Amino acid sequence: MRQFNKFKGTKGWISTWERVIRFRDMIQEIAKKRATILTFWCKYGLAATREAYGVSRPTLYRWQAKLKETKGKLEGLNKGSTAPKTKRRRIIPLIVQNFIIHERQYDPTLSKDKLAVLLKRDGVASYSASTVGRMLGDLKKQGKLG
């Protein structure tokens, strides 16, 4: 079946369509609100903006810098990720790691519950079964356990 495009041959149609998609999908409501606040700030000044919106001066400058960085595109004012750049990694003490590997070599069917009891009984460390289970998973990912 042939498709009919009524905009065929219209100059600038594709770039206009791309802008429509960008504005429809990529600009969040928070970005629109921030842009409104920035224009209010430029028009009425800092004191009025603080009173009307409760936004601090450094925040306004940060938003302005983001807008300048993205060459005026409102997507720059979208909320970014708040996830930490470096996440905490679980560190297994060497003595516990060696104990778990040694016990698992002796009996590969030892569960996390039994290992937790053995760790406590031998005085190596006192961990819950779920913590020992996470340690077992980490050691398997590292290739230290089979």
* Separation of alpha carbons 132 and 117, rounded Å: 10
User: Looking at the whole model, is its pTM more than 0.85?
Assistant: no
* Separation of alpha carbons 102 and 121, rounded Å: 16
Q: What are phi and psi of 122, to 5 degrees?
A: -80, -5
Q: SS3 of 107, please?
A: coil
Structure-token pair, residue 17: 């369509």
**Cβ contacts of residue 96 below 8 Å, gap of 6+?**
119, 124, 125, 127, 135
The reported pLDDT for the residue numbered 29 is: 85
Q: Delimit the domains of the chain by residue range.
A: 13-77, 94-142
Candidates 86, 85, 79, 89; CA nearest to 59 is 79
Q: What are the pLDDT tens digits along the chain (146 aa)?
A: 677 667 677 777 778 877 777 666 677 888 899 999 999 999 999 999 999 999 999 999 999 999 999 888 888 888 888 899 998 888 999 999 999 999 999 888 889 999 999 999 988 888 999 999 999 999 999 998 87
